[in-house]
């Protein structure tokens, strides 16, 4: 399905974007925050890939693998979101301290 392919490519692009920002950052909390965001995008990529597999291939093995991809992908999105929420106040505090020292 073209809609899923669009979102799969979009989530992969955002994953690469956040990983590049992760490498370029030198603040420790911001790096953890960006890692959580990239984890969510990678999980979304894997989960949507699993959903797309349901529509493209109709075999028992494909259904089993797609189910595994969906469960792993969306559990990664959930864990990444929890980490994102956890690190957001620390990133704001770190950014405020960074601006004061500059």
Instruction: Give the pLDDT of residue 69.
Output: 96
Instruction: Give the pLDDT of residue 101.
Output: 73
Provide the token pair at 52.
């797309």
Q: Is the dihedral of CA 55, 59, 62, 64 positive or negative?
A: positive
Instruction: Give the pLDDT of residue 14.
Output: 97
Give how many domains the chain has, as a whole number.
Answer: 1
**Euclidean distance between CA atoms 21 and 66, whole angstroms:** 30
Instruction: Give the pLDDT of residue 102.
Output: 62
**Euclidean distance between CA atoms 48 and 7, whole angstroms:** 8
Mean pLDDT by 10 residues, the chain (102 residues): 91 97 94 96 96 90 95 97 96 87 68
The pTM score is 0.89
Task: Provide the residue range defining the domain that includes 59.
Answer: 2-101
**Euclidean distance between CA atoms 53 and 7, whole angstroms:** 14
Q: Tell which residue, 91, 79, 86, has the closest CA to residue 39.
A: 79
Q: What stretches of 54-99 adopt beta strand conformation (E)?
A: none
41 neighbors 71 (Cβ within 8 angstroms): no
């Amino acid at each position: 399905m073209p809609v899923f392919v669009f979102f799969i490519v979009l989530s992969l692009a955002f994953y690469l974007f956040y990983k590049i920002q992760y490498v370029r950052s030198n603040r420790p909390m911001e790096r953890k925050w960006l890692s959580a965001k990239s984890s969510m995008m990678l999980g979304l990529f894997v989960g949507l890939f699993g959903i797309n597999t349901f529509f493209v291939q109709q075999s028992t093995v494909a259904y089993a693998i797609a189910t595994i991809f969906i469960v792993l992908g969306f559990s990664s999105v959930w864990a990444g979101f929890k980490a994102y929420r956890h690190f957001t106040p620390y990133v704001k505090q770190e950014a405020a301290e960074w601006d004061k020292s500059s």
